[in-house]
Amino acid sequence: MMIQAGGKLSGVDLGRWVCAAIDGPNESVIRMRSLGICVGRPLDLVCDGDPMIVRVGSTQIGLSRFLAKHVTVQPRSESLEPVEDTAS
C-alpha cells in the first residue's frame, strides 16, 4: 500500500516514478537537479542497492541511498507518459 502511494525513493520498488519533492544537503540537491532529478520530472528506478541507479530520460545516474532518502516520489500515471516518451 505504501509503495503504491509512493514514498521515499530509497523505499520504493523498481519502476517508473515521478519526483514529488527533494530536500537534503544543498550541494547534492543542486547536483541532482542539474542532472534532471527535480520536482515534477519523471524518473525510473533501474537498479536498487546502495548506491542505486536511477534513469532520467536517457541519463543513468548513480545515487547513494542516503540521498534517495531525501527524494519523495509518486507513482507515475500514464497521463505523464507523453513527456517521458519525448525526453531524449
Partner 1 sequence: VGSPNTGKTSLFNRLTGLRAKTGNYPGITVDLRSAQIEIGNGPSQRTIQLIDLPGLYSLEPTSPEETVAAEALRGNRLGKVDAVVIVLDATAIGRNLSLATEVLELGLPSVVVLNLIDAADANGIEIDLHTLSAELECPVIAVSARTGRGLDDLRNQIQALLAVPATSLPITRTNCVSGCTGCAYAARFDWSDLVVQRSVRGVSHDAPAKLQTIDRYLTSPWIGTLSLLAVMLAVFVVIFSLADIPMSLIEAGFERITLWVDRILPNADRFSPSRLAAAIALSLGVIVALYKSMGFKLTRRNLLISGGFLVGAVLLPSDDFRSLLLDGVIGGVGGVLVFLPQICILFFFITLLEDSGYLARGAFVMERVMRKVGLPGKAFIPMLSAHACAIPGIMAARTIENWRDRLVTILVLPLLTCSARLPVYAMIAALLFGDSPVLASLTFAGAYLLGLAAALGTAFCLKKTIVAGDPAPLVIELPAFRRPSLRNALLTTYDRAVVFIKNAGGVILLISVALWFMASYPKPDPATLSGDEKAQNQQSLQYSFAGRLGQAAEPIFEPLGFNWKINVGVISSFAAREVLVSALSVIHGIGEDGGEDPQGLVNSLRAQQRPDGSPVFSRATCFSLMVFYVLAMQCLPTQAVTRRETGSWKWAIFQFVYMTLLAYVSALIVYQTLTHLGIA
Tell me the C-alpha to C-alpha distance, in Å, between residue 68 and each of 9, 16, 63, 83, 86.
5, 15, 7, 23, 25
d(CA 14, CA 54): 9
The piece of 8-16, 25-33, 73-81 that touches partner 1 (CB under 8 A) is 25-33
d(CA 61, CA 37): 9
Which residue in 74, 77, 68, 76 sits closest to 9, CA to CA?
68
Would you count residue 34 as binding partner 1 (CB under 8 A)? yes
The piece of 6-14, 62-70, 72-80 that touches partner 1 (CB under 8 A) is 62-70
The piece of 9-17, 56-64, 72-80 that touches partner 1 (CB under 8 A) is 56-64
Q: Which is nearer to partner 1, 4 or 50 (CB)?
A: 50
Would you count residue 80 as binding partner 1 (CB under 8 A)? no
Using CB under 8 A, list all residues that contact partner 1. 24-25, 27-28, 30-36, 38-41, 47, 49-51, 53, 55, 57-64, 66-67, 83, 86-88
